[in-house]
Amino acid sequence: MADKKILFQGTGYRILDFNDMNVVLELQRSTDNYKFQGYYTDIQKALHSIVRRDLLIDRAQRLGAKSYLEQIEKVKNQLLQDIDKHLNKTATDDDPLSLDDLLQ
């Protein structure tokens, strides 16, 4: 997938253009190593799946209910920061990806 365009890069994940109808979500394993997680119809669904499927929470770590909910909140906040960072970056770049593109 290295030849595919990165549509959105976040903390620990990236979303790639796959074809006209799909994007690919990959999770970061190490500095330049990503693992395929799935195909999605748009960026919003890929971002939603990160929270819905707990993809950025360490599943090896045993969490109580309160700690688990805190981790989910942390992931949501990180996604919002990633989106904000991307939108601030695109305000100064020529990257055509806008908030509307992210939330379609």
- Segments making up each domain of the chain, as ranges: 6-102
Burial of 71 (C-beta count, 10 Å sphere; 0-12/13-18/19+) = middle
Would the pLDDT of 2 be above 80?
no
Burial of 80 (C-beta count, 10 Å sphere; 0-12/13-18/19+) = exposed
Residue type, 58: D
Q: What is the pTM of this model?
A: 0.78
Quick one: tokens of 79? Answer: 């996604």
The DSSP symbol for 32 reads: T
- Categorize the per-residue pLDDT at 97 as very low, low, confident or very high, splitting at 50, 70 and 90: low
- Residue 92, classed as helix, strand or coil, is helix
pLDDT at position 44: 93
pLDDT at position 1: 53
Half-sphere exposure of 23 (CA within 13 A, CB side): 24
- Identify the residue with better confidence: 87 or 35: 35
pLDDT at position 59: 78
d(C-alpha 102, C-alpha 74), whole Å: 20
Place of tokens 């688990």: 68
Would the pLDDT of 104 be above 60?
no
Would the pLDDT of 95 be above 70?
no
pLDDT digits (tens, 9 = 90+) for 48-89: 999 999 999 887 888 888 999 999 999 999 999 999 998 887
pLDDT at position 19: 93
